[in-house]
Structure formats: C-alpha cells, structure tokens
C-alpha cells in the first residue's frame, strides 16, 4: 500500500484567459478565445455563454459569437503571469509545487497546523489570491494530489472542498474515466464497459497491469485513491530582473541609455554571480502616461552590458523616437532574462575565443554604429514555397511577424531540399513526345507524359527527360477568391543528370529550384 500525502491543490479556472486579459489589459467580461493550430484552446465565460467551446475552429467560434476577440495562445504568457501567484503563495506557506500554470499543489500538514485547520488554511490562500485580483480561484483538499485536484474542480459556491481522510476512493468512484487525461486509453476503457473510476478501481490490479501495462496500472492507482505521488516543492528562482525608474521622466534617448548603463552592468553581474548567462531577454519600457513597450531580444551567444544598452536604445528608437528625442518621456525601464544558460557552456577555450566570436563582435560593432536593421542574417521560416521560407532577420534577433517553421505545412516540400533556390522562378518549357506543352487538368491528370524539358522555355533548346514525378498539388487560401492559388509541383531529371523542381500554375511552367 503506497503512502498517500494529504495535499492542497490550488486551481485557477481559465488561467490562460486570465493571463491574457491581465497582460493585454482587456476588460474582464470580454468574449475572448485563445487559438492554437487554428482551434480554440481556451475561452472566457462570456464566450462560452454564446456557445464557444474548446476544440472549435476559429470560423465556427466567430459565427457563434460575432464579438469574439481572438488571440494566439502563448504558453510563455501563462507561465510569466502565474509567477507572481506562486511567489505570493510562497510568502504565506512555503513548499509549493507547480503542476502547470494555473494549478499548484502543497502538502496539507504544515499549513493546517499553522493556521489551525485545513479549512482555515484554504481561506487564507483564497484571501491571498483575491489580493492579486484572482477572485475565482478554487481549492481542493484530499488524500493525494490527483484527488485534491478533482476536489478543486468540483467545488461549489464556497470555492473550497475538503475530502475527509480515507474518503478519497468513494469520492473518486462516480467520476468519469476521462478525468485521468489519457485520451488514448479512455476510448478503449469505454468499449470494455468501464465508464467510471469506480469501475476501474474494482478490477484486479494484476489483471489491469497485464492488459494495459504500466500506464493502466498508474490509472488504476489513481482511480483507487492511492495516489502516492510526492509533493516536491519548487526552488524559487533567483531575482535576476533589474528595474530603473526616472524621476522626472527622461525625454531623450541618449539620456535614458546613459542612465541605464549602470543597471545593465548590475543585470549582467547578477547573472554572473548566479553562474548564468542570458541568451534571450525581455525589455519593458513604460512612459509617463503608463503606455508599455515590450519586446524580447535574442542573442546568438550571450548578452554583455553593452549589448543590453544597445537593445534598450534600439527599442526606444523604434517606438516613436524622432532624431534623439522621444514622443513621450520614459519613466521606467525593466530588463528581465527570458532564457539563461550555464556560464560554463560559454567560457573561452584554452587559447581564447574562436573565429565565430570575432565575427560576432565585428557584426555587433557594425550593428551598433549603423542601426539594428543594418546587419541581416538568413534564417528558415515556415511556408510551402521554397522562396517564402528564406527570411532575413537582424543579427542576433529572432524572426518576428513571419510564419513559424514548427507549424504543420501540408503540401510543403519534403527532404532533401534543393541546393539552389532561384530568387525569381525561371520560365521553362515542358513538352510531350509530340512537342506539345504538357498541361494538368482540374482533376490533377497530366495531359501527356513528360518527354522533353527546356531550361530556357524554347522548344529548340529542349533536351530529353530521363525521369519525372508528379504532380503534387498545392492549394492555398481556397476560401479567399482574390488570393487563392493552386500550383502543381513536378520533379524532373534531364539527360544531363540535373534534377529540377518545377511548378505549373496560371503563369505556365517555371523552375523553382535545382538539385545540384
């Protein structure tokens, strides 16, 4: 019999929505939907009242709620907004374990003994969250973190539910097996007639393990109320942020950057003392009217104090600077690390820095003299066409406002990629054995086998084709008649052994790339 820890779970419903509302300063009653992969990931209560729910496509959600505000889901916003909540909870009761942004768990014994009971400890936690502007938090107390989380999700108007010691199995028994969160296992359990946790817990543990493996055994343990997972308190992160406030506010870029230099040096010194380096940082600039300019900067190696000052200057110059003045005086500047790495991974070699370090210092120097956008480097973005995947970004920055490569791109070219991609596709000719141009009908059928290929587009320069494959149709923006586009892709190997990537659209045959 595993040892079960008495646990307190603090759950904030709709936390992704709450975090986005706080970050974007939206009205609390806004009909809001957060979208991930073109599907609704989370939505507000106002949106749910109009029929919006998780898993809907954007267009269907907008059809149900015409006033719906749509924003992309960003897990970084969730984690960043929940950090002050964790810090506030740790001030009144240490030993907090983060489950996910919006949910955390504590051992119940310490807070219950300190505040005089489990209900009193829960009431103190709710008062703490109400002071942070989170009035709808829920708390569940039970044997084991799993049962405590289910208790928190089933609370009533008092927002606290306490399951007495030893009563977790009977509390969990009527709950559906879907609460286990095992999407692959749940349909199989339903087909076997196991619809509730009580049905699963009534089975023999050995039989469950033999039939479903370790995953099934773990689910059986949870359904039986014997969750032996330990509550492992997190180690609070060190305070590495640096803030400088100007009184009175400063209205010149050179004044702000000069005053910020000492803060930048303290920021880098704090990282060094902690044995860290910063590879990505966030800069927040607030003017005297309260408007916030926020941007994340990426560095190819690590940020020095001079690099941090440069980023502040570039951000000021890009947010309303005229010559050396600012549109509104700056009252506050915050610099915070987004990504850090161990300092040992960035130490110089035995004989000093390498060639890449000299290149970086040279390009950064040119960038500091000519401006942030004066030095560009190539990176790969998302898309289906090879030309649109070539993206130029400022040196040391991440792509902003371009399609992300990790998104699914149906119809994109599989590996290996061509060695030469033409900046402007070249007009070419593709002919049948009779010398007629090859075409593709609306059903995707080729009018005749490809027999000859001309890199110039002229039949007189055509050479025989050794092999060809295709077509592979690519249809984009079919819902927008003005910007809809359909192309057919082919791969052709001519008699010289050169492979070509060809596309056929309304403009005729063109060569998009060449396999060298």
pLDDT attached to residue 112: 93
pLDDT attached to residue 506: 80
- Residue 84 CA from chain centroid, whole number: 20
Name, in order, each residue with C-beta under 8 angstroms of 275's C-beta and a sequence gap of 6 or more: 342, 343, 344
Phi–psi pair at 241, nearest 5 degrees? -70, 155
The chain-wide mean pLDDT, for the chain, equals: 85
- Token pair recorded at residue 229: 């997972």
pLDDT attached to residue 406: 58
Q: Which of 329, 349, 336 is nearest to 308 (CA)?
A: 336
pLDDT attached to residue 322: 39
385 compared with 350, residue with greater pLDDT? 385
pLDDT attached to residue 349: 56
If pLDDT is split at 50, 70 and 90, which confidence band does 408 have?
low
pLDDT attached to residue 325: 47
The whole-number average pLDDT for the span 51-64 is 92
Which range among 212-221, 383-392, 445-454 shows the weakest confidence by mean pLDDT?
383-392
The whole-number average pLDDT for the span 80-92 is 91
- Token pair recorded at residue 432: 């049948």
Q: Which of 77, 95, 81 is nearest to 134 (CA)?
A: 81
Q: Which of 465, 516, 467, 452 is nearest to 495 (CA)?
A: 465
Q: Which of 219, 220, 271 is nearest to 241 (CA)?
A: 271
CA angle, 294 then 296 then 299, to 5°:
150
- State how far the Cα of 456 lies from the Cα of 468, in Å rounded to an integer: 18
pLDDT attached to residue 383: 67
pLDDT attached to residue 223: 93
What HEC string does 443-477 produce? Answer: CCCECCCCCEEECCCCHHHCEEEEEEEEEEEEEEC
Asked if 340 contacts 241 with a C-beta cutoff of 8 angstroms, the reply is no
pLDDT attached to residue 397: 66
Which range among 127-141, 197-211, 401-415 shows the weakest confidence by mean pLDDT?
401-415
Which range among 190-194, 398-402, 415-419 shows the weakest confidence by mean pLDDT?
398-402
pLDDT tens for 359-372 read 666 777 777 777 76
Contacts 24+ apart (CB under 8 A), 80-83: 80/19, 80/23, 81/18, 81/19, 81/22, 81/23, 82/12, 82/15, 82/19, 83/237
Is 398 a residue whose pLDDT tops 70? no
Asked if 485 contacts 505 with a C-beta cutoff of 8 angstroms, the reply is yes
pLDDT attached to residue 405: 59
Is 95 a residue whose pLDDT tops 80? yes
pLDDT tens for 417-438 read 787 888 778 888 888 888 888 8
Which range among 115-124, 163-172, 400-409 shows the weakest confidence by mean pLDDT?
400-409
Is 102 a residue whose pLDDT tops 80? yes
pLDDT attached to residue 392: 77
Interstrand relation of 160-162 and 138-143 (parallel, antiparallel or unpaired) = parallel
Q: Is the peptide bond before 248 cis (omega within 30 degrees of 0)?
A: yes
Q: Where are the alpha helices (DSSP H) in 139-247?
A: 145-153, 168-172, 186-191, 197-201, 205-223
User: Is the overall model pTM greater than 0.75, yes or no?
Assistant: no
pLDDT tens for 498-507 read 888 888 888 7
Is 416 a residue whose pLDDT tops 80? no
pLDDT tens for 460-470 read 888 888 888 88
Which range among 18-32, 134-148, 452-466 shows the weakest confidence by mean pLDDT?
452-466
The whole-number average pLDDT for the span 12-39 is 91
Is 350 a residue whose pLDDT tops 60? no
Contacts 24+ apart (CB under 8 A), 473-481: 473/411, 473/444, 474/384, 474/411, 475/411, 476/384, 476/411
The whole-number average pLDDT for the span 12-37 is 91
pLDDT attached to residue 229: 85
Burial degree of 136 (CB within 10 A; 0-12, 13-18, 19+): middle
pLDDT tens for 302-345 read 888 998 999 998 888 876 543 444 568 899 999 999 888 888 77
* 239-243, 327-331, 409-413: which is most confident: 239-243
Is 7 a residue whose pLDDT tops 90? yes
If pLDDT is split at 50, 70 and 90, which confidence band does 125 have?
very high
- State how far the Cα of 113 lies from the Cα of 438, in Å rounded to an integer: 83
Q: Which of 101, 136, 158 is nearest to 28 (CA)?
A: 136
Interstrand relation of 96-100 and 463-476 (parallel, antiparallel or unpaired) = unpaired
pLDDT attached to residue 326: 57
């Amino acid at each position: 019999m595993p040892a079960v820890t008495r646990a307190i779970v603090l759950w904030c419903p709709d936390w992704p929505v709450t975090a986005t509302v706080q970050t974007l300063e939206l009205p609390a009653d806004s009909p809001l939907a957060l979208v991930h992969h073109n599907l609704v990931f989370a939505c507000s209560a106002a949106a749910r009242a109009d029929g919006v729910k998780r898993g809907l496509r954007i267009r269907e959600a907008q059809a149900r709620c015409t006033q719906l505000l749509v924003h992309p889901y960003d897990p970084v916003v969730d984690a960043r907004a929940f950090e002050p909540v964790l810090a506030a909870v740790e001030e009144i009761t240490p030993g907090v374990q983060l489950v996910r942004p919006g949910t955390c768990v504590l051992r119940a014994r310490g807070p219950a003994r300190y505040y005089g009971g489990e209900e009193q400890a829960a009431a103190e936690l709710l008062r703490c969250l109400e002071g942070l502007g989170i009035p709808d938090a829920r708390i569940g107390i039970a044997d084991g973190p799993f049962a405590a989380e289910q208790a928190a999700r089933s609370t009533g108007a008092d927002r606290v539910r306490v399951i007495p010691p030893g009563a977790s199995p009977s509390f969990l028994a009527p709950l559906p097996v879907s609460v286990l969160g095992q999407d692959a296992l749940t349909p199989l359990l339903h087909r076997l007639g196991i619809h509730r946790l009580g049905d699963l817990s009534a089975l023999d543990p050995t039989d469950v393990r033999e039939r479903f493996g370790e995953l099934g055994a773990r689910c059986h343990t949870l359904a039986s109320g014997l969750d032996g997972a330990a509550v492992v308190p997190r180690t609070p992160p060190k305070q590495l942020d640096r803030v400088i406030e100007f009184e009175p506010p400063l209205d010149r870029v050179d004044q702000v950057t000069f005053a910020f230099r000492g803060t930048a040096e303290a920021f880098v010194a704090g990282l060094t003392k902690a044995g860290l380096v910063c590879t990505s940082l966030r800069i927040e600039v607030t003017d005297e009217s309260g408007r916030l300019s926020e941007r994340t900067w990426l560095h190819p190696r690590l940020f020095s104090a001079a690099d941090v000052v440069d980023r502040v200057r570039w951000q000021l110059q890009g947010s309303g600077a005229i010559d050396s003045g600012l549109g509104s005086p700056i009252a506050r500047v915050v610099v915070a690390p987004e990504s850090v790495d161990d300092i040992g991974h960035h130490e110089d070699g035995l004989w000093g820095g390498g060639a890449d370090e000299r290149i970086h210092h040279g390009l950064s120097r040119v960038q500091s003299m000519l401006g942030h956008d004066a030095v560009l480097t190539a990176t790969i973005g998302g898309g289906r066409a090879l030309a649109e995947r070539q993206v130029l970004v400022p040196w040391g920055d991440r792509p902003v406002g371009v399609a992300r490569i990790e998104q699914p791109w149906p119809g994109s070219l599989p590996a290996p990629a061509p060695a030469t991609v033409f900046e402007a596709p070249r007009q070419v000719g593709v002919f049948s054995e009779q010398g007629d141009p090859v075409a593709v009908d609306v059903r995707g059928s080729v009018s005749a086998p490809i027999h000859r290929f001309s890199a110039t587009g002229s039949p007189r320069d055509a050479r025989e084709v050794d092999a060809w494959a295709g077509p592979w149709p690519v249809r984009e923006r079919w819902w927008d008649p003005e910007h809809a586009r359909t192309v057919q892709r082919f791969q052709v190997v001519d008699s010289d052994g050169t492979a070509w990537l060809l596309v056929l659209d309304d403009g005729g045959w063109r060569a998009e790339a060449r396999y060298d």
